[in-house]
Amino acid sequence: MKTLYIVRHAKSSWKEAGLEDIDRPLNERGKHDAPEMGKYLKQQGVKPDALYSSPAKRAQKTAQLIAAELGFDKDKISIQPVLYTFNPNVEAILNFIAQLPDEQQTVMLFGHNPTFTELANHFTKNRFTAENPTCSVVGLQLHINTWKKSPRAEADLHLFASPKKSF
């Protein structure tokens, strides 16, 4: 059994006109919500072996704030360009997941919508009818023993949390 957490970045700021999308930071609400989500996940017993983040500043900061609450070394967060996508076609991310090292049992991915909602829908047979909110976490238990089988894995939704639904 492998466990995958799909985490949408926390609320970002649009204050600076002309700032490149990849450089947008978290806003005050995002800076509050991400550590709170981390605390919630810790209470649920979440202990990731690896964290992978989009290179976007808002995704990286979300990963760092959640990692701090989980006791995960933020310097070990792996930045993955494939996670910086807004494409509803999730094949590239499924290919990335399929190449994860098998010694990693529990993995967290940090990225963006609509891609991450579509990724959750891929594993849950379209359970999510609207885009998942900022800083939401979808926790999946995949019925596999190797990540190579993940693209076609059966999965159980064992956690869905967002700042407005968890704490």
With H, G, I as helix, E, B as strand and everything else as coil, classify residue 7: strand
Give the separation between CA 49 and CA 107, rounded to whole angstroms. 6
How far is 1 from 145, CA to CA, in rounded Å?
A: 5
Q: What pLDDT is stored for residue 167 in this prediction?
A: 43
pTM of this structure = 0.96
- Taken in order of first residue, the domains within the chain and their CATH numbers are 2-10+21-136+146-166 (3.40.50.1240)
Q: What is the mean pLDDT of residues 106-128?
A: 95
pLDDT of residue 42: 97
Tokens of 138: 């979808």
Which pLDDT belongs to residue 119?
97
132: left (phi over 0), alpha (psi -120 to 50) or beta: beta
For residues 81 and 49, the answer to whether their CB atoms sit within 8 Å is no
User: Closest Cα to residue 9, out of 126, 156, 166, 117?
Assistant: 117
pLDDT > 90? residue 166? no
